[in-house]
Amino acid sequence: MGMDRNTVIGFVLLAALFFGYFYYNKQGQLVMEKERQHTQDSLNLLKPKIDTLALRMDSVKRDSITRLVSTGNFHGDSTATEQFITLENEVVKITFTSKGAQPKIVELKNFKTFDGKPLILENGSFNKISYTINTGANQTAKTEDLIFTPSAISKTANGSQSLMFALQNAEGQKIEHLFVLPANEYMIDFSVNLYGADKLLTQNTINLTWQAQAPQVEKDFEHEKLQSQISFVKDGDYDFDHLGKGDDKKFDKPLDWIALKQQFFVSSILAKNKFQNAEVQWQVPPDSTTHIIAQATSNFRLSVTPGAVSSVPLQLYYGPIDYKILKSYGNQMHDIVPLGSGVYAFVKYVNRGFIMPVFNFLSSKIASFGLVIALLTIIIRLLISPLTYQSYVSGAKMKLLKPEIDTLKAKHGDDKQAFGMEQMKLFKSAGVNPLGGCIPALLQIPIFFALFSFFNSNIALRGQGFLWTKDLSAYDSIYNLPFSIPFYGNHISLFTILAVITSLLISLYGMSNMQDNSNPVMKYMPFIFPVILLGVFNNQPSALTWYYTVSNAITLIIQFVIQKYIINHEKILAQLQENKKKVPTKSKWQERIEAMQESNKKIQTLQQRTGKNKK
């Protein structure tokens, strides 16, 4: 007993030293950083003063001269003052700039960032919509450098708002950018109207550049980055590609739309008459301090009908990845919602056909999403309860046959082939399916992966608190660590711990009911899966770990009730003995297996005899 106490004290001291080391190291880094900054400030005071304002003014002057030369006969519009005009409805607020006649700032009014700030989906100089026009003999300019003239905002009786930007030269050539924002909609109609397209464009083609960047809006930067991707519909089929540093993708076939998807929000550009081809490049900034998930630059080719007036109908979507909203547009944008993809693509039908309708119905009746998830879990467990019952019955049968199996094992010793044949005969005579306990578990795997996708993509859970978690769409944290543990993270999720503990209890209970637990390796098996869960689930949405905790708790209750009060072991034993008295009928498959086993046994016996004769 004294040795155990000393061991425990030793581990406690090691843990204290471990945490103390990290705390001391962290404090040391802070002190060194302050000293470095103080030294740098002192050096800056010794440097000669440079008129940075004058340098900036010279740079602006050079850029203005360059733009003035390139804009040719549109130069009058390049020197005007930039103006900002705002269109706003119930869900979105968009500030447009007259420079390039394009959106400048996009705010989603019904959402906040993880830290409670306004959710600005687009802002900054990187975001742009631009194309090149001919401004004179051998002269071109990008529309992003030209100042358009805005019109007054026009409103209709149904709440729709329109904003027109115009750019015109003395020769009568004219460009119009018309934006229409319907009431209570995230989708914006964007039309490019060209007067004199044959003069403005080369080969009646618009080479359109669309740049968008995804800012961090969720708590877990790495998880949000992992959920981000480029989505598109090419040649009528939806597809996506994960973001990578400096990657690019070319599209040689017509493209309906392309989108920069984050975890719960998306920016997209759509062409009603399709883009002829496109190329997209994306960059994932390596430094998380920029709070930028990804930057995408797309170059499109659009054919324009030659004539006096040509119109290119486009659309812009800045909004949530909400299945119902995206489905209403009828352009396959609902496929952006990651309800199942890759080898698990089939689970999206489980989500769409069952889990999503049930969840939506329950959430329309119950305010607490935590209770909704608990009820959803109970419903799922009730539906699969027949499979669960059969699994436990099969386990009970196998346990009752254990004494006879042990007898067979002792009889045949190391002859595993003979033991296997006799064991199969025993199962057959008793009417036991050795896979009866495995098949129900396998059938539940699609449900688990469906829920894994559902809880990671359901925007309805975003910002919804339950018990100690403030956001069911993100991990819960009862304590933030001052360091990061590999495979685990830098925080402690209580829901994850509860899920792991309940999984461990299920594993231990299952091991106690195994027919053969003599294998020393099996002693450690119950601990492996929970440890894996600890690392995998710690950064997952708390909705998923809460579901898993409830599901495990139900499993433990069901195990106890079925084993103690429902399964009649004496009745099952009597049934097994009765089955043995019946003349078993063999299927052709069983006959082939037994024939192969008999043949292998004869070969083995012959080889043993040959070996003895040689000796």
Q: Are 229 and 259 in contact (CB under 8 A)?
A: no
Give the span between the Cα atoms of 86 and 591, in whole angstroms.
Answer: 79
- Taking CB atoms within 8 Å and a gap of at least 24, the contacts of 374-377 are 374/546, 374/550, 376/547, 377/547, 377/550, 377/551, 377/554
Check pLDDT > 50 for residue 8: no
578: Cβ contacts below 8 Å, ≥ 6 apart:
none
Check pLDDT > 50 for residue 18: no
CA atoms within 13 A on the CB side of 293: 31
Q: What is the pLDDT of residue 11?
A: 37
Beta strands in 429-540 (DSSP E): 479-485, 489-492
- DSSP code of residue 120: E
Check pLDDT > 70 for residue 540: yes
Check pLDDT > 90 for residue 154: yes
Q: What percent of the chain has pLDDT over 90?
A: 37
Check pLDDT > 70 for residue 27: no
Q: What is the pLDDT of residue 62?
A: 47
Give the span between the Cα atoms of 499 and 506, in whole angstroms.
Answer: 11
User: Of residues 172 and 189, which shows the higher confidence score?
Assistant: 189
Average pLDDT over residues 395-402: 67
Which of 107-121, 217-231, 592-606 bottoms out in mean pLDDT, i.e. has the lowest?
592-606
Which of 26-40, 160-174, 254-268, 543-557 bottoms out in mean pLDDT, i.e. has the lowest?
26-40
Beta bridge partners of 267: 260, 318
φ, ψ of residue 25 to 5 degrees: the values are -65, -40
CB atoms under 10 Å from CB of 581, counted, come to: 7
pLDDT tens sequence across 101-122:
999 999 999 999 998 999 999 9
Check pLDDT > 50 for residue 245: yes
- Identify the CA nearest to 464 among candidates 185, 293, 264: 264
Give the span between the Cα atoms of 337 and 458, in whole angstroms.
Answer: 8
Of the ranges 23-37, 45-59, 235-249, 513-527, which is most confident? 235-249
Q: Give counts: helices (H), strands (E), the chain.
A: 18, 22
pTM: 0.75
Task: Assign 5 a pLDDT band (cuts: 50, 70, 90).
Answer: very low
CA distances from 221 to 162, 245, 404, 455 (A): 37, 16, 57, 18
Q: What is the pLDDT of residue 318?
A: 96
- DSSP code of residue 564: I
Q: What is the pLDDT of residue 513?
A: 56
Q: Are 289 and 221 in contact (CB under 8 A)?
A: no
Which of 2-16, 181-195, 494-508 bottoms out in mean pLDDT, i.e. has the lowest?
2-16
Q: What is the pLDDT of residue 135?
A: 84
Q: What is the pLDDT of residue 611?
A: 63
- Both tokens of 235, joined, read 């040649």
Beta strands in 26-91 (DSSP E): 84-88
Give the three-class secondary structure for 11: helix
Mean of all residue pLDDT scores within the chain: 79
Average pLDDT over residues 532-556: 89
Task: Assign 520 a pLDDT band (cuts: 50, 70, 90).
Answer: low
Check pLDDT > 60 for residue 1: no
Question: What is the distance of C-alpha 295 from the center of its chain?
Answer: 18
Q: What is the pLDDT of residue 81?
A: 86
Q: What is the pLDDT of residue 244?
A: 72
Q: Quote the crossing angle between the two packed helices 542-561 and 445-457, to the nearest 10°.
A: 150
Amino acid at 363: S
Which of 15-19, 107-111, 310-314, 389-393 bottoms out in mean pLDDT, i.e. has the lowest?
15-19
CB atoms under 10 Å from CB of 127, counted, come to: 19
178 Ramachandran zone, left/alpha/beta (phi>0; psi -120 to 50): beta
pLDDT tens sequence across 293-331:
999 999 999 988 877 788 999 999 999 999 999 999 989
Q: Are 332 and 238 in contact (CB under 8 A)?
A: yes
Q: Does domain 65-337 correspond to CATH entry 2.60.40.2470?
A: no
Give the span between the Cα atoms of 483 and 20, in whole angstroms.
Answer: 12
Check pLDDT > 80 for residue 275: yes
Q: Are 258 and 269 in contact (CB under 8 A)?
A: yes
Start-end of CATH 2.70.98.90 domains in the chain: 65-337
**DSSP of 500-554, one letter per residue?**
HHHHHHHHHHHHHT-S----GGGGTHHHHHHHHHHHHHTTS-HHHHHHHHHHHHH
Q: Quote the crossing angle between the two packed helices 385-400 and 369-383, to the nearest 10°.
A: 50
Task: Assign 594 a pLDDT band (cuts: 50, 70, 90).
Answer: low
Check pLDDT > 60 for residue 442: yes
Which of 233-247, 251-265, 364-378 bottoms out in mean pLDDT, i.e. has the lowest?
233-247
Check pLDDT > 90 for residue 86: yes
Average pLDDT over residues 259-287: 90
Beta strands in 394-551 (DSSP E): 479-485, 489-492
Q: Quote the crossing angle between the two packed helices 402-412 and 416-430, to the nearest 10°.
A: 150
Average pLDDT over residues 132-140: 84
Q: Are 145 and 78 in contact (CB under 8 A)?
A: yes
Nearest 5°: the CA angle 463, 466, 472 is 45
Q: What is the pLDDT of residue 50?
A: 42
Which of 32-46, 92-106, 163-177, 554-568 bottoms out in mean pLDDT, i.e. has the lowest?
32-46
